């Protein structure tokens, strides 16, 4: 076991922390960059790792990459990435603002490989986060045990791994091998073939009405050959994202300032009205493709896949099959008439999104510190008290205070500038909230 000490530690090598790493390298403080590290639990960087489907596209313009809206001259831009790969002419010729998801993923790995001072440590899974306290109780920093037995100590910690997957209560009693969340799709879909009845095609059911559910529904036609997937949607039908340019102005980084100063009531209303800009919707071209696929199935006399609207799963259980083996039985309420029908399947694929709470790792840290709630200021820094020497920054989980764009790529570049500015200011002034300095010889208490 080895203990490593760094100044700034970032958990997760996704878009949020890679954007922050670039901002740190470009801020002019080489000492800060040299003392920064990103932990990535996998052996490489991939964006939406388990929905890396060859036809899936980013819903966000490449101009909203990790750097351009903060520093249009940055060498870390998406266009420079395409130029260095010799692929810029072909990409420009496509005439699109929306690259394929695998292109964005390759861009993120290129950024990670191009960092000169910030280190990226792969195969490093953080098990939990524990505070380092002074004898007076002030937070001096954090200790992060890793799954390989090493430990990393840091002053400032940035959590940017996203929210935890949401598995609705009704599905939690099913055998684990028969429930696949969208965050596990590519890793686990092949194994579901063994769940089919002997000599029969897999009977998959997809639950959810947003982009991830629809992508699994489409992909299963290739990955579960011979199957006719069923998709259960609570809404009246699949809907497209709200893409009005007027509404899209609420994704400007500058709107974060306005949203942060709103009343709680106003924030709730804005979030509700913007729901279809990011949740419970699909990209319009993909909707067209789905509808055309089902139309073609009908017209060509092929097995027809089913999208059942106004359908809600109210019960789920495993049941034995005559002759051996088991299947999943779903109790599905028809929201049009109130009746309940049983649907039998072999595997359930959940496009049910993410837990709206703070990630479990952050909640565990809050308990260790003694915080009843986790709240962040405008600079995304958690409130740890005026005497704190260390700081905790949260990325992608602050919709309630920073707006619906907080979980999206749209604000990454400017958010990184906000966080870096705050980190540098705290080091230069040593005053104000969380600006306290650790005094020489002060005793340290590390939570076990």
Mean pLDDT of the chain: 92
Tens of pLDDT, residue by residue over 276-294, are 777 778 888 999 999 999 9
* pLDDT exceeds cutoff 70 at 437: no
Tens of pLDDT, residue by residue over 332-358, are 999 999 999 999 999 999 999 999 899
Of residues 131 and 162, more confidence is placed in 131
* pLDDT exceeds cutoff 70 at 207: yes
Q: According to the model, what pLDDT value does residue 442 have? A: 38
Tens of pLDDT, residue by residue over 352-374, are 999 989 999 999 999 999 899 99
Q: Which domains does the chain have, with CATH numbers?
A: 3-164+355-446 (3.50.50.60), 169-241+281-350 (3.50.50.60)
37, 180 in Cβ contact below 8 A? Answer: no
């Amino acid at each position: 076991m080895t203990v490593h000490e760094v100044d700034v530690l970032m958990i997760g090598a996704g878009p949020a922390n890679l954007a922050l790493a670039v901002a740190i390298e470009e801020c002019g403080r080489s000492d800060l960059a040299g003392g920064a590290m990103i932990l990535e639990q996998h052996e490489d960087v991939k964006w939406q790792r388990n929905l890396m489907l060859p036809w899936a596209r980013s819903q966000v313009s490449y101009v909203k990459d990790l750097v351009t809206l903060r520093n249009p001259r940055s060498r870390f831009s998406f266009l420079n990435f395409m130029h260095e790969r010799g692929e810029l002419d072909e990409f420009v010729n496509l005439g699109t603002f929306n690259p394929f998801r695998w292109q964005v993923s390759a861009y993120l790995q290129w950024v990670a490989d191009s960092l000169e001072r910030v280190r990226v440590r792969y195969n490093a899974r953080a098990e939990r986060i524990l505070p380092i306290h002074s004898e007076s109780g002030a937070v001096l920093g954090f200790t992060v045990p890793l799954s390989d037995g090493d430990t990393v100590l840091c002053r400032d910690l940035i959590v940017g791994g996203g929210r935890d997957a949401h598995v609705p209560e009704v599905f939690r009693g099913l055998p684990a091998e028969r429930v696949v969340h969208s965050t596990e799709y590519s890793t686990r879909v092949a194994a579901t073939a063994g769940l089919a009845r002997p000599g029969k095609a897999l009977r998959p059911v997809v639950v959810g009405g947003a982009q991830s559910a629809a992508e699994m529904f489409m992909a299963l036609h290739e990955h579960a050959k011979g199957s006719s997937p069923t998709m259960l949607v609570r809404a009246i039908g699949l809907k497209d994202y709200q893409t009005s340019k007027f509404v899209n102005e609420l994704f400007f980084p500058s709107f974060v300032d306005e949203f942060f100063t709103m009343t709680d009531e106003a924030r709730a209303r804005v979030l509700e009205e913007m729901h279809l800009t990011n949740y419970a919707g699909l990209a319009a071209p993909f909707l067209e493709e789905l509808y055309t696929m089902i139309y073609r199935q009908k017209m060509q006399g092929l097995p027809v896949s089913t999208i059942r609207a106004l359908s809600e799963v109210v019960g789920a259980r495993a049941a034995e099959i005559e002759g051996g083996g088991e299947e999943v039985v779903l109790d599905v309420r028809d929201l049009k008439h109130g009746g309940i029908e049983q649907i039998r399947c072999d595997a359930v694929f959940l496009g049910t999104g993410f837990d709206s709470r703070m990630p479990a790792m952050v909640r565990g840290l809050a308990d260790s510190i003694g915080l009843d709630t986790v709240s962040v200021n405008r600079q995304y820094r958690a409130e740890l008290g005026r005497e704190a020497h260390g700081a905790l920054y949260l990325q992608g989980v602050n919709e309630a205070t920073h707006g619906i764009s907080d979980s999206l790529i749209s604000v990454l570049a400017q958010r990184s500038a906000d966080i870096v500015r705050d980190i540098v200011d705290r080091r230069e002034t040593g005053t104000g909230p969380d600006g306290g300095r650790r005094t020489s010889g002060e005793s340290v208490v590390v939570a076990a």
